[in-house]
Homo-oligomer: A and B are copies of this chain.
Amino acid sequence: MVSRHISKRLLNYRSALVQLKKMGFDYVFSKTIGEETGVSSDVVRKDFSNMEIRGKRKVGYKVDDLITKLDEMFGKTCCFEIIVVGIGNIGKALTKYENYLSDRIKIKAGFDINPSRINVDNKIPILHFDEVETFVKENDIKVAVVTVPEISAQLVCNKLVECGIKGILNFAPVMLKVPDDVFVKNISFADEITRVFYHAKVN
């Protein structure tokens, strides 16, 4: 189990590798991966060496091998199955544009309490939140994306934990409280923008 910091870096490598593959690269040098992800080639080589991946002199690493190794590390199945709770603008972006999620993540259903958003005939069915417990249990879902308003986020979170959800990606601007065995990653647009200002040295 690597730290969050490193897992983030490895996932950046993966994104860069997928891009490089699309651009037609079969082999890459650590330097190229480093340039694409903002780290030194030494760090790239060390990370891969820790994963027991070695490149060839003058040829570099095989792109497909690296992607396969990273995929093995981050989950052996081809699909991560999730649900999305809250079909406002962000929920819509996730459920409508598959490019945001890549081929490895599959949204099994969306949930909302607004009847006008419910649509069982959708490619990704949008169900009433009352059905979440049955759905999560029947489909053995363990991870949810929460994109509900601030005011209802903690209640939604409590319900999801009760259903057996173990991981939450939270877009609501509130820190969710969960038991120790549940992992929450908060995405705060405000914090991310503040960080951009800080690092862009424009303030």
B-binding residues in A (CB < 8 A): 4-5, 7-8, 11-12, 14-16, 19, 36-37, 74-77, 80, 82, 88-90, 92-94, 96-97, 99-102, 104-105, 142-143, 145, 149-150, 166-169, 171, 173-175, 182-183, 185-203
Contacts of A4 in B (CB 8 A): 195, 199
Contacts of A97 in B (CB 8 A): 88-89
On whether the beta carbons of B143 and A175 are closer than 8 Å, the reply is no
On whether the beta carbons of B16 and A203 are closer than 8 Å, the reply is no
Contacts of A194 in B (CB 8 A): 11, 74-75, 80, 104-105
A101 to B92, CA, bound (A): 19
On whether the beta carbons of B185 and A11 are closer than 8 Å, the reply is no
Contacts of A99 in B (CB 8 A): 149-150, 173
A149 to B99, CA, bound (A): 9
A80 to B150, CA, bound (A): 22
On whether the beta carbons of A203 and B104 are closer than 8 Å, the reply is no
On whether the beta carbons of A187 and B192 are closer than 8 Å, the reply is yes
Question: Known: A89-B93, A167-B197, A194-B74. Contact between A143 and B202, CB under 8 A?
Answer: yes
A15 to B11, CA, bound (A): 26
Contacts of A104 in B (CB 8 A): 190, 194
On whether the beta carbons of B37 and A175 are closer than 8 Å, the reply is yes
